Structure 1
Amino acid sequence: MPHHDSSANNADEPVWVRGDGVDLACHVAGPADAPVLVFVHGYPDNHAVWDRVVAHLAGDYRCIRYDVRGAGASSAPAATRAYRLDHLSADLAAVIEWASPNAPVHVIGHDWGSIQSWDAATDPALAARIASFTSISGPCLDHVGHWLRQQWQRDRAGLFKQLGKSWYVFAFHLPGLPSLLWRAGLGRRWHSIVERMEDSQLPRNPSQANDGARGIALYRANVVARLRAPRARHAQMPVQVIVPERDPFVGPGFVAGLERWVDALTVKTIDAAHWAIQSEAETIAAHCRAFVESNHASLPTAGRGNSHSPTEAARARA
């Protein structure tokens, strides 16, 4: 398949990477020989939601953003099962292999980008490929499953409070209606809804209606299955969790007990709402920079930077 030259770091010109049966639109910024950061966006966003954060980091890091399957310019499989976490993790692994075949990368995820990155970060097969993981407003679904069981025994009031925040998760399982709402007008109004809700402006997204409608499959393919039978998932690398205190969707309670699953855990709390990567981009970037630096310095010399740029890797595989 064709690959576009990203040497000019033009965010409007994607490099196409073959994922797990899909084509992923990747966007590159930053020096070719710098440590690689891979940003994974959430729902119902696309890669552009990271632009403000990347603007603070691209001077020193090779920043890779990509549209996840079903979003932006990337392939959008029709089957709900195609959005399972194992496929999403395989997509992320393909992006990592393309972006930095000879060195581990630092993964930064938000919302569903964080949820799917947790699945990769707790996969022993990817332990050597991810140097660190920063999670923002997106817990591991398996950890949530265990947390729900503990809350039922210890703090049912707290449990019901979080379930109230997550009302939309249940609504997304209604057949047909959520997708219809996105295409009937929610997609056109989403930008203004978020602005009123959080006093923060998202990037204008011409594919917003489709991104919202298709991304519902993320919930349907994964949430019930993982909460019903949560696995024991231990992080394979240092993890930083950034907790926006005013997040209306993801409560801070999910951080409690995370030490059970993460040996090297850093928690940062910030005064922000869900889309902190927009409203507090500089703060998010500063936390990411500090965490990456603290973990990149400990890597072996052979594991720093890239042996060649993503553009060269794309040309080699074209």
Structure 2
Amino acid sequence: MDVFDEHRRFQAGRRWRKIGVAIAAAVALTGLSIASASADPAEEQPRHSFAEYQGIPISIFEYGPSADEAPTIVTTGGWPGDSSIFEPAARKLAAKYHVVRYDRRGVGESGHNTTEESNTLENLAGELGAVIDKTAPGHPVHTFNEAWGSYIAAEFAYRNPGRIASLSAIGAPSLDLQHYAMADVVNNPQTLPGNLAYAAWFASMSAPVLPELYIQAGATEAAFGALTALTGELPVHMTKEDLLASVSIYRANAPARLLSPEYDYLNVPVMQVFQSPTDNPDVISGLDRHTNNLWLTEIEGNHGDFGRISWPLVSSELDRAIAATEPTS
């Protein structure tokens, strides 16, 4: 039995839940005319496929034209949750761009046979490379992410110079470069409370066993559910299965990279950072000294509701970054 057969069996329960939606869509399609070929991309169903990396199936959703017809934007989810937090943005961007949304290992419809060793940034960057090779072979791509999605894109850019045309991040774009930002401000008493809280989060999530105990007890789902209800964010789609399979991303990377980063400079044509009021500004302190072309844009809202509150600004800045880095015909 190959990895895809095994994965299909593993995902059977998820797929049965979607049969009703699929039947409804099929019935609706029978009533469409030939004119539907020019339907609004925001209303079209994404093209679903899988890539494989290290024996793990990676679930991919593509929107809009192909990579040969338009610039490609690649996005994935942070933690917790799968990539569906970027679903509304992907549909809007598909009017102009080839958009690729994928679930990283351990979440959504991707394989869940993960370990702490397999969740290193090096492996997650290789996984991103497999997605790009499948969906946009031979093309530089643009990335748009938040949190761990941004860290993965930065790792890929570091290991694969020239493959990322623009790297856009909501909040800090690189775990490694946060080391230098936090070192810059560590002696400033005014920044101490924010940095201690930030460090405490990473420390608690990187501890042995404890994060899994929180998840098993339902505390993580309850905490994030309360947060999204309080702030009005789009709900983060998470399951206990996803949380348990992916939480080791912290232990596998945060202590090592924050204390002993692998790189101190990231060369990309454009590094764009969207900074929200809920982000700690200290984690991007001095970032302009560690990359060649930093664009910093302040937005309203936060990582979950930017699409509702700040989308006109975010989308226009994405357009500007892509226009600045795409070759002219």
After TM superposition, give the deviation of residue 148 of structure 1 in Å. Answer: 2.6
Matched, 1:262 2:291: yes
Give unpaired runs (5+ residues) of structure 2: 9-36
After TM superposition, give the deviation of residue 246 of structure 1 in Å. Answer: 2.3
Deviates more, 1:253-262 or 1:177-186: 177-186
Matched, 1:280 2:313: no
Q: Distance in 2 between matches of 1:169 and 1:232?
A: 20
Q: Distance in 1 between matches of 2:285 and 2:181?
A: 9
2:16 equivalent in structure 1: none
Q: Distance in 2 between matches of 1:73 and 1:128?
A: 30
CA contact (8 A) 1:179 1:214 kept: no
RMSD in angstroms over aligned alpha carbons? 2.6
Matched, 1:141 2:175: yes
The secondary structure found in structure 1 opposite 2:272 is strand
Q: Distance in 1 between matches of 2:108 and 2:192?
A: 34
The secondary structure found in structure 2 opposite 1:14 is strand
Distance 1:31 1:43, change over 3 A: same
2:282 to 253, 267, 291: 253
1:316 equivalent in structure 2: none
Distance 1:245 1:229, change over 3 A: same
1:214 to 230, 245, 263: 245
The secondary structure found in structure 2 opposite 1:37 is strand
After TM superposition, give the deviation of residue 190 of structure 1 in Å. Answer: 5.6
Q: Distance in 2 between matches of 1:86 and 1:300?
A: 33
2:125 equivalent in structure 1: 89
CA contact (8 A) 1:136 1:242 kept: yes
The 5 A counterparts of 1:178-193 are: 178-186=211-219, 189=222, 192-193=225-226
1:308 equivalent in structure 2: none
Larger RCO (CA under 8 A, 6+ residues apart):
1
Q: Distance in 1 between matches of 2:304 and 2:201?
A: 17
Q: Distance in 2 between matches of 1:291 and 1:102?
A: 20
Q: Percent identity?
A: 23
Matched, 1:200 2:233: yes
The secondary structure found in structure 2 opposite 1:122 is helix
1:109 to 145, 151, 155: 145
TM-score under structure 2 length normalisation: 0.79
Q: Distance in 2 between matches of 1:294 and 1:276?
A: 26
Distance 1:277 1:27, change over 3 A: farther
After TM superposition, give the deviation of residue 146 of structure 1 in Å. Answer: 2.1
The secondary structure found in structure 2 opposite 1:195 is helix
2:45 to 10, 15, 29: 10
2:65 equivalent in structure 1: 31
CA displacement 1:112-157 (0-9 Å, x = unmatched): 101111112223xx222111110112331221222233323x4244
Q: Distance in 1 between matches of 2:248 and 2:265?
A: 26
1:60 equivalent in structure 2: 96
Matched, 1:162 2:195: yes
CA displacement 1:76-105 (0-9 Å, x = unmatched): 234211110100111111111111112111
Deviates more, 1:50-59 or 1:180-189: 180-189
Q: Distance in 1 between matches of 2:223 and 2:103?
A: 18
Q: Distance in 2 between matches of 1:256 and 1:46?
A: 29
Matched, 1:243 2:275: yes
CA contact (8 A) 1:246 1:271 kept: no
Q: Distance in 1 between matches of 2:113 and 2:328?
A: 39
Q: Distance in 1 between matches of 2:114 and 2:137?
A: 30
Aligned residues: 288
After TM superposition, give the deviation of residue 177 of structure 1 in Å. Answer: 3.0
CA contact (8 A) 1:122 1:233 kept: no
1:310 equivalent in structure 2: none
The secondary structure found in structure 1 opposite 2:93 is coil
Q: Distance in 2 between matches of 1:127 and 1:26?
A: 23
